[in-house]
Amino acid sequence: MRAVRMRLGERSYDILIGRGLIAKAGRCLRGWGLDGSCLVVADRKVGRIYGAKLLSALKGSGFTAKLFSLPPGEEHKTLHETERIYRAMLEVGLDRASFIVSLGGGVAGDIAGFAAATYMRGIPFVQVPTTLLAQVDASVGGKVGVNLREGKNLIGAFHQPRGVLIDPSVLATLDRWQLSTGFAEVIKHAIIADARYFGFLEKNSARALSREPACMERIIMRSCEIKAGIVARDERESGLRMILNFGHTIGHAIETVTGYRLYLHGEAVAIGMACASAVAARLGYLSGGSHRRIIALLQKYGLPVRMEKIPVEKLLRAIPRDKKARGGKARFVLPERIGRVFVTEGVGEDIIRAVVKDMSRG
């Protein structure tokens, strides 16, 4: 078993990573000082596969635990589902001494965490993330929340979990697209923070893509360490945490223009990272060799690096702009080499337009 410490003063906690950890969940939670009753809020599909095992591990350690199923899908990350969770919590008699366990991808983690943050002004929660994206990204950092019809993640809170349990063997049942979308965030971590990790991902792509547990454990650990290190220095996203947005400026614009239907999040981010790298290469920050290595790595992990028939002007208009900055400038995270990025508002619209045109098919 491996452990990554999320260092946040009195809100510090452990992210435990190891094969078979779900079966040991009860003992881990006891170790974190939890006691009493809990509601396991599970993505329905994931609950069917791993719910019984988690419940029996919790009951085996003397916890009272009940399963609550969420309909799978981003469209259910809503206040409506949150209200159903609150009702289930009341029915089971959860009080301020109780806690929530989330079981599923980022959707289950975000909504269960939000319910925990708000129920009786906040109770503890534990994350058991089951997609690669949730294991390396959504479950680290304490951002929880739900969507409104008007926009994603508009309602939310910072609520750090008591701990995170990651069992890489659950990745065996994940479909291949969901796996790739997680690898986009993994590759992002390597580009923003660790050239050696980037080299590891280059060398071990076959092992990683076949989800070899030992290799996945190592990847999940390194990615959690990188994200946890950044969050520890900027919990409330006032500065440094921005570098985690590498690839997300254009990625979000692609998701907006395509109505979140054409690409999974990680795929849009992969195209966004390809674009940001091209911008950095054009401006002379990133060498041609490093640019080519980034593109090749994304492709190796089954991610797109060009976009389909997206109207260029529409995409440019959808790029999120910082309203506080003069002239509403777009903020880009650009690589200056593999393992190091910087944040800038100084990318001219002409360069973005040229790169986006270049990266568009059709």
Ligand X SMILES: NC(=O)c1ccc[n+]([C@@H]2O[C@H](COP(=O)([O-])OP(=O)(O)OC[C@H]3O[C@@H](n4cnc5c(N)ncnc54)[C@H](O)[C@@H]3O)[C@@H](O)[C@H]2O)c1
Report the interface residues with ligand X, using CB under 6 A: 43, 45-46, 72, 74, 77, 104-108, 110, 130-131, 133-134, 137-138, 141, 143, 153, 170, 173-174, 178, 181
84, 143, 188, 291: which is the annotated catalytic residue? Answer: 143
For ligand X, give the closer residue by CB, 134 or 193.
Answer: 134
Contacts of 48 (CB under 8 A, 6+ apart): none
Shortest separation between residue 291's beta carbon and ligand X, angstroms: 26
Q: Which is nearer to ligand X, 272 or 286 (CB)?
A: 272
What's the min distance (Å) between Cβ of 93 and ligand X?
Answer: 28
Does residue 227 carry a catalytic annotation?
A: yes
Instruction: Kindly name the residue from 80, 121, 149, 261 that is annotated as catalytic.
Output: 121
> Closest residue (Cβ) to ligand X?
106
Residues 6+ apart with CB under 8 A from 229: 193
Of 142 and 335, the one with the shorter C-beta distance to ligand X is 142
Please choose, from the candidates 126, 79, 70, the residue with its C-alpha nearest in 3D space to the C-alpha of residue 98.
126
Quickly list DSSP for 204-262.
THHHHHTT-HHHHHHHHHHHHHHHHHHHHH-TT-SSGGGGGGTTHHHHHHHHHHTTTTS
Q: Would you say 29 or 140 has its CB closer to ligand X?
A: 140
CB of 99 to ligand X, least distance (A): 18
Instruction: Establish whether 248 is a catalytic residue.
Output: yes
User: Is 107 or 280 the residue whose CB approaches ligand X more closely?
Assistant: 107
Q: Is 241 a catalytic residue?
A: yes
CA separation for the pair 221, 287 (Å, rounded): 29
| Alpha carbons 317 and 314: distance in angstroms, whole number | 5
Taking the C-alpha atoms of 189, 202, 176 and 109 in order, what is their torsion angle to the nearest 10 degrees?
Answer: -20
* Residue with the two structure tokens 């019984």: 52
What is residue 115's three-state secondary structure?
helix
Q: Catalytic: which of 24, 77, 252, 291?
A: 252
Q: Is-contact 74 260, C-beta < 8 A?
A: yes
Q: How many CB atoms lie within 10 A of CB 243?
A: 18
Instruction: Please indicate whether residue 185 is annotated as part of the active site.
Output: yes
Catalytic residue among 159, 211, 222, 245: 245
From the candidates 84, 159, 218, 227, give the one annotated as an active-site residue.
227
Does residue 24 have an active-site annotation?
Answer: no
**Residue 49 vs residues 82, 113, 170, 224, 256: alpha-carbon distances, Å:** 23, 21, 9, 25, 33
Beta bridge partners of 156: 145
Catalytic residue among 77, 81, 159, 185: 185
**Is 108 or 268 the residue whose CB approaches ligand X more closely?**
108
Which is closer to ligand X, CB of 45 or CB of 353? Answer: 45
**Smallest gap from residue 112 Cβ to ligand X (A):** 11
Active site residue 84: no
In the complex, least distance from residue 175 CB atom to ligand X, rounded to whole angstroms: 7
162 is catalytic: no
Q: Which of 265, 267, 291, 293 is catalytic?
A: 265
Q: Is 235 known to be catalytic?
A: no
Shortest separation between residue 18's beta carbon and ligand X, angstroms: 16
To the query of whether residue 261 is one of the catalytic residues in this protein, the response is no
Distance of alpha carbon 274 from its chain centroid, rounded?
19
Q: Are 183 and 132 in contact (CB under 8 A)?
A: yes
Residue 305 is classified by DSSP as: -
Extract the tokens encoding 33.
């000082």
Closest distance to ligand X from the beta carbon of 111 (Å): 8
Residues with active-site annotation: 121, 143, 185, 227, 237, 241, 245, 248, 252, 265
